[in-house]
Structure 1
Amino acid sequence: MEIHIQVVGEEQPELIDPLEHLARAYSAQEEYVRAQQYLLQALAIYQEAGRPEDMLLDSVLNSLAEIEIARGHPALARNYLDRSRAIRELTLGQNNPRTIEVAQKLASISTSQMTR
């Protein structure tokens, strides 16, 4: 990863995919803080590149939401999922199964908070 950064630069969109892969590896090992760092770096690159509604950003947002759910932070997870739903609605449409999937995740987070 360090070599890749040296070649393309720290804030280039080409880094997003490797950052996501690293984050998934750390998430699988339940190293959520490290995974989150890589995902937040990818998120910052998207924002710097002026691509805040890019469908590719969707997987970063969903991964961040999963980490926050695992860490017991449903409010933060909901923020990421809200943004993911907005991207999916804009890109895929409100009735697309992938958009509905995120809406269902949001509903389940809200329901689990109410039962606590």
Structure 2
Amino acid sequence: MRKYFMGMVALLLTIVSISSFYPSASAASGYSSSVTLYSYQTSATTERVNTVGTVQTNVVNTGIYNVSYRVFREGVAVTDYVTVAPGKSSGNPTISPTQNAEYSLRIYCNSPTGTGCTANGAIIGY
């Protein structure tokens, strides 16, 4: 019985020590996130990213219809809709936030039916 108890204590200590090396989960995924807008979707969103300085975004339109995107801080839009033409990229526009926060990027399809667009996007917080 004593060996069983000591074995359980050792196992418990091992689990606790291993789990202390991993950060706890939160709503934010880290400092970068990417997203793909598939042709059957009307919009697609990245996960939220933490930032302590600058936020950089990029959207590449790989389809035949215009797409647009917006950047959100804590779920509230902080940019107007920005349109990206087929075969084009948004470049790497940056936002210099006045506060540390969680940001995300949402891409929208601008086709007549609301679907049929394809695009890739990324957001990075520095």
* Same topology, TM > 0.5: no
Larger radius of gyration: 2
Normalized against structure 2, the TM-score is what?
A: 0.25
Higher strand residue share = 2
Which has the bigger relative contact order, CA under 8 A and spacing at least 6? 2
Normalized against structure 1, the TM-score is what?
A: 0.27
Higher helix residue share = 1
